[in-house]
């Protein structure tokens, strides 16, 4: 959303509040619910006062589950790309209210289903007619490549290449993508990296809770990976609790950096099971495709690197061209 729409919202709100109490205005609610952008209002304590339909659609949280709560009450739990919890530290809402100015940032919010979604937020501070701070408006939009992938997903369904549980590509399609990238390496010299991820201690979720809980973990991890890659990159469920991410046009340093980001975002995702907050971590192995690779050799190399991460304590990423057998 451009800055012009921000100005429209500010102007409309300034007019609305002359005629309606902030919490009682049906007109404001109708106005907000007809916006394409996700919007919510908070007071100075960051208690959520209004929550529009677009916010419901983007986050999975219904208005009645949100109104009256504060944004950090195990709901949105904003984090940055380093995994820092912004709700208990460098909160964009607090920054905007303290500086009395517009604030923008790229962050990751917590979806109701557990996974992380990258969003661009714009914060607009609000003031009374006497100039006192009364709260803020947060406008946020999805910056993932998920929307761009919808056409690809429809095509994949036709080809029976979608994993039924997670909704991402299955192993068959993953193998096709890797084969295509090997061909591109040989024909054009284009660089591609792959990351082999495995969920740590996955058996614990099935044994200690249920297979349904295990399925929720698989969906949470797959959604986090899918939401956090570019539109021309690919993620597939390789089998069981294993996933492969294929990243085009990257160096080994960029590949490792992206693998670390995906690992970190996954470790910051969670959902509640019987009032227990459940987290999952992943271990990864990252390597570049070589001209003499086959699908089997590059996946085997990434798999061995992933097991090096497991042996060194889990919740880690190991990147390289070679792997240790120790």
DSSP secondary structure letters along 38-58 = EEEEE-TT-BEEEE-HHHHHH
Prediction pTM value: 0.71
- What pLDDT shows up at residue 19? 37
Tokens of 240: 């069981």
Domains of the chain are 3-142 (3.30.450.20), 146-319 (3.30.70.270)
Single out the residue of 192, 203, 202 nearest to residue 252, CA to CA: 192
Contact 321, 287 (CB under 8 A): yes
Residue 307 backbone class (left: φ over 0; alpha: ψ -120 to 50; beta: rest): alpha
- Strand 242-248 and strand 270-273: the pairing is unpaired
Contact 136, 71 (CB under 8 A): no
Written as tens digits, the pLDDT of the chain (326 aa) is 455 545 445 444 544 444 334 444 566 677 778 888 899 999 999 999 889 999 999 999 999 999 999 877 778 888 888 888 888 778 888 888 888 898 898 999 889 999 998 999 999 998 888 888 899 999 998 887 655 555 666 665 656 788 989 999 999 999 999 999 999 999 999 999 999 999 999 999 999 999 999 999 999 999 999 999 999 999 999 999 999 999 999 999 999 999 999 999 999 999 999 889 999 999 999 999 999 999 999 999 999 999 999 999 999 999 998 766 55
Contact 300, 190 (CB under 8 A): no
68 contacts: CB under 8 Å, gap ≥ 6: 47, 48
Question: How many other CB atoms are there within 10 angstroms of residue 213's CB atom?
Answer: 19
Contact 144, 118 (CB under 8 A): yes
Distance of alpha carbon 117 from the chain centroid? 3
Q: Would you name the residues annotated as active-site residues?
A: 241
Tokens of 211: 């297979």
- What pLDDT shows up at residue 289? 97
Tokens of 134: 């009364």
Contact 222, 243 (CB under 8 A): yes
- What pLDDT shows up at residue 208? 94
In whole angstroms, what is the distance from residue 198 CA to residue 201 CA? 9
DSSP 77: -
- Strand 317-319 and strand 282-288: the pairing is parallel
CA angle 266, 269, 274 (to 5 degrees): 135
């Amino acid at each position: 959303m451009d800055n012009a729409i921000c100005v429209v919202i500010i102007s409309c709100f300034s007019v609305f509040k002359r005629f309606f109490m902030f919490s009682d205005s049906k007109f404001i609610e109708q106005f907000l619910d007809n916006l394409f952008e996700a919007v919510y209002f908070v007071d100075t304590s960051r208690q959520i006062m209004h929550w529009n339909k677009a916010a419901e659609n983007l986050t999975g949280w219904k208005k009645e589950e949100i109104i009256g709560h504060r944004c950090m009450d195990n709901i949105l739990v904003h984090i940055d790309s380093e995994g820092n919890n912004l709700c208990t530290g460098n909160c964009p809402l607090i920054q905007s209210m303290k500086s009395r100015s517009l604030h923008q940032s790229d962050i990751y919010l917590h979806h109701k289903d557990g996974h992380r979604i990258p969003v661009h937020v714009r914060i607009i501070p609000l003031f009374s007619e006497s100039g006192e701070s009364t709260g803020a408006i947060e406008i946020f939009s999805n910056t993932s490549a998920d929307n761009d992938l919808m056409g690809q997903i429809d095509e994949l369904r036709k080809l029976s290449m979608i994993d039924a549980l997670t909704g991402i590509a299955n192993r068959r399609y993953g193998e096709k993508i890797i084969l295509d990238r090997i061909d591109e390496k040989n024909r054009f010299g284009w660089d591609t990296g792959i990351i082999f991820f495995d969920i740590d201690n996955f058996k614990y979720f099935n044994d200690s809770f249920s297979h349904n809980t295990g399925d929720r973990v698989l969906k949470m991890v797959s959604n986090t990976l899918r939401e956090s890659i570019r539109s021309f990159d690919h993620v597939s469920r390789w089998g069981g609790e294993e996933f492969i991410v294929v990243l085009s046009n990257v160096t080994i340093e960029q590949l490792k950096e992206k693998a670390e980001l995906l690992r970190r975002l996954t470790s910051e995702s969670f959902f509640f099971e019987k009032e227990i907050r459940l987290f999952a971590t992943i271990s990864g192995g990252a390597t570049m495709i070589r001209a003499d690779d086959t699908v089997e050799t590059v996946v085997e190399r990434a798999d061995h690197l992933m097991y090096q991460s497991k042996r060194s304590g889990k919740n880690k990423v190991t990147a390289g061209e070679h792997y240790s057998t120790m």
